[in-house]
Every structure is written in C-alpha cells, then in structure tokens.
Amino acid sequence: MLKKLLVLMIMAAPVAGICAPGGNKKKEEPVVHLTDEQIYEELKKLALVFEVARDNFVEEADEKKMLEGAMNGMLGALDPHSSYLSADDFKDFNDKSHGEFGGLGIQITSDRGAVRVIAPIDDTPAEKAGIKAGDYITHIDDEQVFDLTLNQAVQKMKGRPGTKVKLTVISDGEEPRTITLKRAIIKVKSVKYEDKKLADDDSENPDKIGYIRISDFGATTTRELKEAIDALEKKDVIGYVLDVRNNPGGYLTAAIDVSDAFLDGGEIVSTRGKGKTDIERSFAKPGDRTNGKPIVVLINHGSASASEIVAGALQDNGRALVMGSQSFGKGSVQQQKPLGDGTAIHITIARYYTPSGRSIQNEGITPDIEVLQSKVEVLEKKESMYSEASFKNSLKNEEAKKKADKKSSDKDADKDDEKELTDEEKDALDYQLQRGMDMVRAMAKMKSRAAAMPVTPGADEDGAGAESKSSPEDDIRAENTDSAPKKK
C-alpha cells in the first residue's frame, strides 16, 4: 500500500507545482525549491505519518478523511482560496454557479484560521438575519470553527431545507451574538433592475434613473443584464447606478461580459499566471448598450473578485464614476482541475489586473468618491420661515394649495396604514444609493447642457471659435483614442 500511495502522490505533485502562484508568501522570502530526491523523501515521510497515525490512533481511523485532510492542508498552505473538492463539494460548486443550491446564502473565506464573511447573498437567510460583509463566524452549532477547514465549515452550515443551524457571529466593534438560521433552497437571480427616482424629487415628471443590482456573477448573469438594460432603455432613463455592493464575485467570463455591455472599446482586464509570458488580455467589443449614458458603480467592503474587475474596468476606461467604500481586494483567479473521479482541485492560477495595470490583491478598488453608508439627519427645513411666502399680502401660488392638500392626505394615509417599509422608503434610507443617483442626475444634466451649447462660428479655421474640420484619418484616430484605456 505504501508503494501505491507514493506513486499516487508523485503523479499529483506536478499539478500543484504548475498551478500554484505562490499564495501569500512575502516577496522578501523567496521559495526554496526541493530537489526530486528531497521531494521523494518528504512524500515517503508523509506516507509514513499516514500509516503510523492510522495504526496507532486510539479510535478506528477514517482513511479517506485523513487523506482528504492531507490534500486540503497541502492546498490551503498555498492561499486561502485553494482547496480540495470532494465529489459532493465539486457538485455543490457547479450547482451554485448555475443559480440554485441549498444552505444559508453566505459566501465565506478562511482568515487566519477563522471564517470570515465575504458577503451574504441577497434575499437569503443570512442576509435577512443581518449578517454583513466582514463579520467573523466563530462557532457553528456551538463548535469552534478554528479546528475546521473551510470546506468542513461549509458542510456544517449546509443541510436539508427547513432545518436550523446556530451561528456565533462577531461584527466589528460589537459583542459576539448568537443567531439561529433556517436553511433554505437558495435560488439566485443575479440581476435585479428597476427605474428609480430620488427620494426628495417630488416634481411631476421626476428623472428616471436605471438601477441595476448584480448580486453575483453566474452562468445567467450576462443574459439577465442585457435584458435589464434593454428594458430600462425603453423607459428612457437618464443614466444608470450599477450596484455591486456585497457581491462576492463569480465567473471571470461573466465579469468580462458585464463590463463589455457598458464599454465601446478598450481593455477590460488582464490575467497573469506563473510564467512571464502567461498573460491574457480581454478587450471590449464595439457597442455600448447604454448609449453612453452616465454610470455610477456602487462598491463596498463586500465587493470582491469579479465585482472589482467590473468596477476597475469602467473606472480605468473613464466610463463610470465609482462611489462607496474600499472594495474587498481579491485579485486572484481560481480554476477547477478535475481529477477524473468526480473530485477536483480548486486552485489559484493567476492574478488579474485592471486596464491601467493595477493589481488590487489585498488592496481593493479605491472609489473615485468615498461615500460611507450613513444615516441622514436633516439639519435644514425644506421650507424656510423667511421667504417670499412669509411676507404679508404676498401673492399666492395657485398650485401650492393642491400640493399641500395632497401631502396632507398622504401623511394621513401613512398613519392609518403603518406597515413594513416599502421599497421606496428603503431606497430613501440607503445613503450610498441616494448619493449615487444624485451623481447620475448631475452627470446627465452636465452632458445635456454640453450638447445644447451653441457652436460659435469663427472668422477662419485658426480662430478661437472656429468649427474644426477633420479628415477621415482624423476620425479614425479619434475613434482609436476613445477606445483606448484612460489611465489615472
């Protein structure tokens, strides 16, 4: 058996060696490679540890569990995102990617032995229980997670829909809290959309702003996004808020396609593997589905991986303004390497870079305008005590009484029908969303004013106000310039 085990390990060793990028090792600590003979001696030692442990452990040893633990430990030593996937794990991974799975609806990672929340998924038990990005899970059903691998923690949180699981959660600056969640079938519709208006816009014809929420990047995201944009374009929105807050990522190809939908050209992302020449670049195809309308991308600490690719691509190409808070900082790409028996290796194969060449690994995307989620307190009354209306015998506004009566009836209706907050009321309390919509409206007004500016004819082509004349070659150069990445 020892001989067979050694052969299996030697066959598997090159796979990990070729794919591993070096993980979290510091640059000042270069990797010291072993010779083939040294590797063989270490593998012999590993096989010896297995046999001694199996034969001497006080209880009956589970060989499969021991070997899976050894493989998980090997891959976990590379970085937090590499792991061994059993047949069940591999099936679950594929089910999640196609939009339906069972559990709590939470994306987690390993952080120095603890389980850290990347983000809860929208409309799931985890999100409804108030679990937030950055929270730490310390216990699952009163068992400490520090002795568990990431896959073991995931398995303990999964279960039959309707059954319950108890989690101990620590949020930043708060005392630990224990919450009980009921497992459910998690059906992820990755794109939601609607046309919204600003909370304080009570005009008769408020500006419509296209709101697109992407909760993860799965197999159906691209199709759902195109349907969303097409529907919103028919409603004549003035611009878009693309919300990828608490989006933990997903397929790289989906992130590229989403970016492409908003771009008319330019680089989207580059991935760089272990070798110096192992570089792949992805570029946008001509055709912006939003017709050049203003875009604001909302990000926060729970925006990771594919979300950061989209935010970085639109930011570096000058196509969108990024608002919110610093993103998560996961700048690596994982791939599943099937082992032929239903199991697989989930391993980091590359780092990705934004069009300007930025690696956001451990750094994240920095928003153009930092807007921290806040609670709004009104310091100024909407109608001042000192105004034209306060003067004695001032002329009355004929429409004012109608508006006042309508507001009064609306308030009375609200008092009579106090229920859970409506979607509009929730939007009004979402400070980041309101500021993003504010910015879209401002950008749209600036664009429309610029388009309406009259061209002042000049006396000649060299005059300050002269209309410019261009050749076809100039037009081609201009198009190429517009499609090139705009670096900051």
- 128 and 81 both lie in a single domain: no
- 109 and 49 both lie in a single domain: no
- 253 and 216 both lie in a single domain: yes
CA distances from 440 to 288, 294, 296, 381, 418 (A): 17, 6, 6, 25, 32
- 147 and 131 both lie in a single domain: yes
CA distances from 87 to 104, 122, 305 (A): 21, 27, 25
Cα–Cα nearest to 151, from 63, 94, 90, 224: 90
pLDDT value for 272: 94
From the list 215, 330, 332, 427, the catalytic residue is 330
- 202 and 282 both lie in a single domain: yes
The answer to whether residue 12 sits within a structural domain is yes
- 181 and 195 both lie in a single domain: no
Q: How far is CA 361 from the centre of its chain?
A: 14
Does pLDDT of 155 surpass 50? yes
> Could you report the per-residue pLDDT of 39-86, keeping only the tens digit for each?
999 999 999 999 999 999 999 999 999 999 999 999 989 998 899 998
Provide the 3-class DSSP secondary structure of residue 351: strand
In this structure, of 4-8, 355-359, 396-400, 467-471, the range with the lowest mean pLDDT score is: 4-8
The mean pLDDT value of the chain amounts to 82
Separation CA 282–CA 263 (nearest Å): 12
* Predicted model pTM: 0.70
pLDDT value for 141: 92
Which residue among 318, 341, 370 closes a domain?
A: 370
471 part of the active site = no
In the 8-state DSSP scheme, what is residue 5? H
The answer to whether residue 345 sits within a structural domain is no
270 part of the active site = no
Provide the residue range defining the domain that includes 134: 101-187
What mean pLDDT comes out for the span 208-214? Answer: 97
In this structure, of 56-60, 382-386, 436-440, the range with the lowest mean pLDDT score is: 382-386
**Residues near 286 by Cβ (< 8 Å), separated by ≥ 6?**
264, 265, 483
Does pLDDT of 276 surpass 50? yes
316 part of the active site = yes
Both tokens of residue 113?
């032995």
Q: Per mean pLDDT, which of 67-76, 238-247, 467-476 is the most reliable?
A: 238-247
The answer to whether residue 448 sits within a structural domain is no
Please give the helix or strand (H or E) that residue 88 lies within, else none.
helix 87-97
Does pLDDT of 479 surpass 80? no
| CATH number of the domain residue 162 falls in | 2.30.42.10
From the list 305, 325, 327, 332, the catalytic residue is 305
Helices within 214-276 (DSSP H only): 221-234, 252-262
Tokens 């569990």 map to which residue? 65
When divided into structural domains, the chain yields a total of 3
Percent of the chain with pLDDT over 70: 77
Does pLDDT of 468 surpass 50? no
DSSP assignment string, 49-74: HHHHHHHHSSS---HHHHHHHHHHHH
- Amino acid residing at 107: Q
Q: Which class for 116: exposed (0-12), middle (13-18), buried (19 or more C-beta within 10 A)?
A: middle
Around Cβ 77, how many Cβ atoms within 10 Å?
Answer: 13
From the list 282, 316, 325, 427, the catalytic residue is 316
The answer to whether residue 247 sits within a structural domain is yes
- 176 and 288 both lie in a single domain: no
